[in-house]
């Protein structure tokens, strides 16, 4: 793919395999023209993004001078006053139950800070990633967990260096932050999560302690949780049965396991900074990966330092523990908020698992089944099958198709080799649309064609972006082949372009944007990137509205006249909008 750097802001095509396309957008017009997308309606549950004074660099999670420091009075517990989170918080029309005890954790000789969950007055859980600033610890854990998934840190000779670490946890009590010493008791490791990460995320990097490092060397830490105790007496009990009882109360056997599109609430401390104590982010389960769905993919907006925090359902029953959220792939930042499924932790510690998990989701099944992964000789993206006048088509983006040799894989692993009918001859020009036709034999599978929407979504309307972000392997890990589903809202419309705040990343080009009834309202094309810091804004994206090309598609399905598809080439004004050219100012005062 072509890459040009002509200005301060660039438009990015979300092609995963072959790179990105960028076009010029002058910085001075960024906030006032095409990219200005103030929503007219805001979901009260999603408008809780901890911004404020957080720095943009990820290494703000390190314990440096910029961190708020705790005042240590001689002979007294270190403390600092903060306002506490309200009980039964009323956010819009929704009530979030009382927030469980959360905090931050670090060890005296380290540079990392992570989030932590208090199970009771003594027991604390955090991510194994708290040890990531020392590569030796990563190697120690990697070797130790080969013997057993549950390790008594105090009794394990291999883990002796970790048992000697001076851990400190910070939590809030009566509006006061308290720092306490803690000791590591047990390490719980998931082989399934470890294998899933190694297979799915090969080539992925993360910013750890200010350095970009390959996560393959740290998968054992990502796939582990550490259980600690604030009772540091050497005579304090370390009864594993007592710990199992506490874990069992986290998520009783009668509780429902996480499911696709479940609404979830994450509680964590972004950047490991106590200024952001008990930050809530509300989102959904976008996908579930690995054997027994051991890894959850969320659509929440999280930052470094959130690892070790918890994922809850609407009843504040714990659903998992956060592993990581921000990564680097091919020198580009990507957002993959990942969590260990609580079912996986309980299967290891309690030998317990829900055997009959329903896969029903609150979204039309036929629309979900219509989504396919498109591969065109190494260049890949997403497509969607639809039906018009009893004829079956697949629609995607032109830039996804490197050649006419096209393979489509659907949700039930059905493979289709469609015939290319139309592809925009000008690669970087609107509309970036390609149309394919399925053969008669291949089109016989029922219930995998969606319907087109003959309307423009209203601003603030709930939408769903479905596709295959970042990695092909995310769709096929485990027993199921399924795309990820990311809810969002329509944020702006102008002729030829629909803007949304769905989190859309490379690999989702050509993917469908559905409404709540499963009607195809738009085709995802691109998101934005700043040349100042190379940051990709995946929640600001541009899509082709189906309504604007609806009549052309209908006429072609009726006549089979390919000349009618010339209507898929946009007029000059729309092409200028897609190139982010500023509009002409007709009245200057």
Q: Which residues contact 67 (CB under 8 A, 6 or more apart)?
A: 113, 272, 273, 274
Higher pLDDT: 478 or 58? It is 478
Higher pLDDT: 488 or 57? It is 488
Cα separation, 220 vs 189, in Å, equals 7
Q: Work out whether strand 434-437 and strand 451-452 pair parallel, antiparallel, or are unpaired.
A: unpaired
Higher pLDDT: 323 or 32? It is 323
Q: Return the top range by mean pLDDT from 245-259, 411-425, 572-586.
A: 411-425
Residue 377 near residue 402, CB atoms below 8 Å: yes
The average pLDDT across 403-412 equals 86
Residue 566, Cβ neighbours under 10 Å: how many? 10
Residue 209 near residue 107, CB atoms below 8 Å: no
Each residue's pLDDT tens digit, 156-171? 999 999 999 999 999 8
490 has a pLDDT exceeding 60: yes
Strand order, beta sheet including 371-376: 415-416, 407-410, 371-376, 379-388, 391-396, 434-437, 419-423
> How far is the first Cα of the chain from the last one, in angstroms, to the nearest whole number?
43
Helices (H), 435-481: 473-476
Dump the DSSP string for 317-330. Answer: -EEEEEEEEEEEET
Higher pLDDT: 82 or 409? It is 409
The average pLDDT across 368-386 equals 89
Confidence band of 480 (pLDDT split at 50, 70, 90): low
Cα separation, 102 vs 119, in Å, equals 9
CA–centroid distance for 349 within its chain: 27
Q: Work out whether strand 407-410 and strand 167-173 pair parallel, antiparallel, or are unpaired.
A: unpaired
Cα separation, 467 vs 512, in Å, equals 7
Question: Which pLDDT belongs to residue 473?
Answer: 66
85 has a pLDDT exceeding 80: no
Two tokens, residue 585: 């100012």
Residue 282 near residue 300, CB atoms below 8 Å: yes
Question: CA dist 542 to 93, 451, 579, 584, Å?
Answer: 30, 21, 11, 21
On the CB side of 200, how many CA atoms lie within 13 Å of its CA? Answer: 25
Question: Which pLDDT belongs to residue 186?
Answer: 95
* Average model confidence (pLDDT) across the chain: 78
Q: Return the top range by mean pLDDT from 157-161, 206-210, 312-316.
A: 157-161
Confidence band of 117 (pLDDT split at 50, 70, 90): very high
Question: Which pLDDT belongs to residue 47?
Answer: 36
Question: Which pLDDT belongs to residue 553?
Answer: 96
Question: Which pLDDT belongs to residue 457?
Answer: 95
Two tokens, residue 5: 């750097």
116 has a pLDDT exceeding 50: yes
Out of 1.10.730.10, 2.40.10.120, 3.30.590.10, 3.30.470.20, the CATH code matching 365-579 is: 2.40.10.120
573 has a pLDDT exceeding 80: yes
19 has a pLDDT exceeding 50: no
The average pLDDT across 581-589 equals 71
Give the relative orientation of helices 342-349 and 240-250 as an angle to the nearest 10 degrees: 150
Each residue's pLDDT tens digit, 259-286? 888 999 999 999 888 889 889 999 999 9
Query: Helix, strand or coil for residue 185?
Result: strand
Question: Which pLDDT belongs to residue 328?
Answer: 85
Nearest of 328, 251, 313 to residue 282 by alpha carbon: 313
Each residue's pLDDT tens digit, 3-17? 232 233 344 444 434
Q: Which residues contact 556 (CB under 8 A, 6 or more apart)?
A: 435, 562, 564, 565
Residue 489 near residue 462, CB atoms below 8 Å: yes
Each residue's pLDDT tens digit, 410-444? 877 788 889 999 998 887 788 999 999 986 566 55
Question: Which pLDDT belongs to residue 15?
Answer: 40
Out of 3.60.15.10, 3.40.50.2000, 3.30.830.10, 2.40.10.10, the CATH code matching 102-350 is: 2.40.10.10
Cα separation, 40 vs 243, in Å, equals 49
Cα separation, 61 vs 113, in Å, equals 6
Residue 134, Cβ neighbours under 10 Å: how many? 18
Nearest of 494, 541, 506, 503 to residue 297 by alpha carbon: 503
Looking at 90-99, 176-185, 197-206, 208-217, which range is the least confident one? 90-99
Confidence band of 446 (pLDDT split at 50, 70, 90): low
On the CB side of 484, how many CA atoms lie within 13 Å of its CA? Answer: 33
**Residue 206 burial (CB < 10 Å; 0-12/13-18/19+)?**
buried
Question: Which pLDDT belongs to residue 1?
Answer: 28
List the domain boundaries for the chain: 102-350, 365-579
Nearest of 143, 292, 162, 316 to residue 226 by alpha carbon: 162
Higher pLDDT: 104 or 579? It is 104
**Residue 31 burial (CB < 10 Å; 0-12/13-18/19+)?**
exposed
Report the percentage of the chain scoring pLDDT > 70: 76
The average pLDDT across 115-127 equals 93
144 has a pLDDT exceeding 90: yes
DSSP code for 367: H
DSSP code for 89: E
Two tokens, residue 287: 């996908």
Residue 226 near residue 186, CB atoms below 8 Å: yes
Residue 84, Cβ neighbours under 10 Å: how many? 14
Confidence band of 99 (pLDDT split at 50, 70, 90): low
Cα separation, 76 vs 494, in Å, equals 61
Q: Which residues contact 240 (CB under 8 A, 6 or more apart)?
A: 150, 152, 186
Each residue's pLDDT tens digit, 535-555? 778 788 999 999 999 999 999
Question: Which pLDDT belongs to residue 138?
Answer: 92
Q: Which residues contact 147 (CB under 8 A, 6 or more apart)?
A: none
Question: Which pLDDT belongs to residue 528?
Answer: 81
Each residue's pLDDT tens digit, 511-537? 999 999 999 999 999 888 776 666 778
Q: Work out whether strand 176-189 and strand 150-152 pair parallel, antiparallel, or are unpaired.
A: antiparallel
Each residue's pLDDT tens digit, 384-398? 999 998 889 999 999
Q: Which residues contact 65 (CB under 8 A, 6 or more apart)?
A: none
Rg (CA), the chain: 25
The average pLDDT across 49-65 equals 35
Whether 102-350 shares its CATH topology with 365-579 is answered yes
């Amino acid at each position: 793919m072509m890459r040009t750097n002509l200005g301060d802001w660039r438009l990015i095509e979300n092609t995963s395999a072959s790179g990105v396309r960028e076009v010029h957008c002058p910085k001075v017009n960024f906030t006032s023209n095409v990219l200005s997308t103030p929503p007219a309606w805001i979901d009260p549950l999603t408008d809780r993004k901890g911004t404020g004074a957080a720095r943009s660099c990820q290494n703000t999670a390190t314990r440096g001078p910029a961190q708020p420091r705790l005042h240590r009075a001689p002979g007294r517990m270190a403390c600092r006053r903060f306002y506490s989170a309200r009980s039964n918080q009323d956010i819009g029309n929704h009530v979030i139950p009382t927030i469980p005890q959360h905090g931050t954790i670090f060890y005296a000789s380290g540079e990392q800070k992570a989030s932590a969950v208090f199970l009771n007055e003594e027991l604390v859980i955090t991510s194994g990633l708290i040890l990531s600033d020392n590569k030796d610890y990563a190697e120690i854990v990697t070797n130790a967990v080969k013997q057993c998934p549950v390790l008594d840190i105090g009794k394990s000779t291999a883990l002796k260096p970790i048992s000697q670490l001076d851990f400190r946890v910070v939590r809030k009590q009566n509006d006061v932050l308290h720092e306490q010493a803690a000791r590591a008791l047990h390490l719980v490791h998931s082989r399934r999560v470890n294998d899933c990460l190694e297979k799915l995320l090969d080539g992925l990097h993360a910013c750890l302690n200010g350095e970009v490092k390959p996560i393959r060397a740290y998968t054992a830490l990502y796939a582990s949780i550490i259980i600690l105790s604030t009772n540091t007496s050497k005579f304090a009990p370390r009864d594993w049965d007592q710990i199992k009882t506490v874990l069992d109360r986290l998520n009783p056997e009668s509780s429902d396991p996480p499911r696709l599109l479940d609404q979830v609430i994450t509680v964590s401390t972004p950047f490991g900074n106590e200024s952001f104590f008990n930050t809530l982010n509300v989102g959904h389960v976008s996908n579930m990966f690995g054997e027994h769905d051991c890894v959850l993919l969320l659509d929440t907006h999280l930052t470094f330092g959130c690892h070790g925090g918890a994922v809850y359902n609407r009843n504040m029953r714990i659903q998992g523990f956060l592993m990581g959220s921000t990564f680097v792939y091919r020198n580009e930042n990507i957002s993959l908020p990942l969590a260990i499924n609580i079912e996986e932790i309980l299967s290891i510690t309690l030998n317990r698992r829900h055997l009959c998990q329903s896969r029903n989701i609150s979204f039309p099944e036929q629309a979900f089944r219509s989504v396919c992964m498109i591969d065109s000789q190494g260049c890949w993206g997403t497509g969607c099958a639809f039906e018009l006048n009893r004829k079956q088509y697949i629609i995607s983006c032109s830039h996804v198709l490197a050649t006419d040799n096209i393979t489509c894989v659907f949700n039930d692993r059905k493979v289709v080799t469609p015939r290319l009918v139309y592809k925009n001859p000008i690669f970087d020009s609107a509309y970036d649309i390609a149309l394919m036709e399925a053969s008669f034999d291949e089109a016989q599978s029922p219930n995998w064609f969606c319907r087109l929407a003959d309307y423009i979504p209203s601003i603030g309307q709930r939408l769903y972006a479905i596709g295959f972000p970042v990695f092909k392997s995310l769709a096929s890990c485990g027993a199921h082949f399924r795309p990820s589903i990311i809810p969002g809202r329509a944020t702006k419309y102008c002729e030829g372009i629909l803007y949304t705040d769905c989190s859309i990343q490379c690999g989702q080009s050509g993917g469908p944007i559905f409404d709540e009834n499963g009607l195809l309202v738009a085709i995802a094309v691109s998101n934005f990137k700043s040349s100042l810091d190379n940051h990709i804004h995946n929640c600001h994206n541009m899509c082709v509205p189906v309504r604007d090309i609806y009549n052309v598609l209908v006429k072609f399905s009726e006549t089979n006249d390919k000349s009618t598809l010339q209507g898929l080439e946009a007029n000059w004004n729309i092409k200028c909008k897609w190139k982010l050219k500023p509009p002409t100012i007709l009245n200057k005062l």
